[in-house]
Amino acid sequence: MYLKSLTLKGFKSFASSTTLRLEPGITCVVGPNGSGKSNVVDALAWVMGEQGAKSLRGGKMEDVIFAGTSGRAPLGRAEVQLTIDNTDGALPIEYAEVTISRTMFRNGGSEYAINGQGCRLLDVQELLSDSGIGREMHVIVGQGQLDSILRATPEERRGFIEEAAGVLKHRKRKEKALRKLDACEGNLTRLGDLLGEIR
């Protein structure tokens, strides 16, 4: 599995559609200060479902949409497409090539798609969660992030390891199932009370 291409359109400083084609192995992005190198990494995190505006170096999520320059009007939507080579079947989907896309409009809300089929954020997260590109995005190490990992508490560090090992997905599912079970028990108690009143 490797990242094959990334297309940005209306995302941060990339107003026009821009595609970066990547090869297996190491890719270096070079350019002057402020030319958009970090924006490329932000786009990668964003298309994989990043929900925190701060993680994307913005104040609010809308800040990912091209805000305009002196010569170009702001845009109404941001769009990123990430194509992953899946010939080794690392992603649990029967396609040799997987394209994940995310679109966001200025009036809020994000749309996701996997190979052109609209889907939920959860579907994108589940697709990626066993690949090491999980929802916590530990594969993207931003500037200054190493410090925060070194300063993490033992519990936080365990979280990083669980995420990398693919355990976190099952923990989240367990928590969700327990919450549902809890709600069912509440309903059963309520039902018992009602039956008691009727008898």
Query: What are the structure tokens assigned to 155, written together?
Result: 């519990």
Q: Is 113 within 8 Å of 28 (Cβ atoms)?
A: no
Round to whole Å and give the CA distance between 186 and 182.
Answer: 6
Q: Which is nearer to ligand ATP, 18 or 131 (CB)?
A: 18
Q: Is 100 within 8 Å of 47 (Cβ atoms)?
A: yes
Q: Nearest approach, Cβ of 34 to ligand ATP (angstroms)?
A: 4
Q: Which is nearer to ligand ATP, 41 or 82 (CB)?
A: 41
Q: Which is nearer to ligand ATP, 27 or 35 (CB)?
A: 35
Q: Which is nearer to ligand ATP, 59 or 196 (CB)?
A: 59
Q: Is 166 within 8 Å of 129 (Cβ atoms)?
A: yes
Contact residues toward ligand ATP (CB under 6 A) are 12-13, 31, 33-39, 63, 65-67
Q: Which is nearer to ligand ATP, 18 or 38 (CB)?
A: 38
List binding-site positions.
32-39
- Amino acid found at 110: S
Q: Nearest approach, Cβ of 177 to ligand ATP (angstroms)?
A: 39
Residue 199: strand, helix, or coil: coil
Q: Nearest approach, Cβ of 82 to ligand ATP (angstroms)?
A: 17
Q: Nearest approach, Cβ of 125 to ligand ATP (angstroms)?
A: 24
List binding-site positions for ATP.
32-39
Q: Identify which of 137, 143, 176 has the alpha carbon closest to the alpha carbon of residue 160.
A: 137
Query: φ, ψ for residue 83 (rounded to 5)?
Result: -105, 130
Round to whole Å and give the CA distance between 62 and 64.
Answer: 5
Place of tokens 């090869």: 23
Q: Nearest approach, Cβ of 139 to ligand ATP (angstroms)?
A: 18
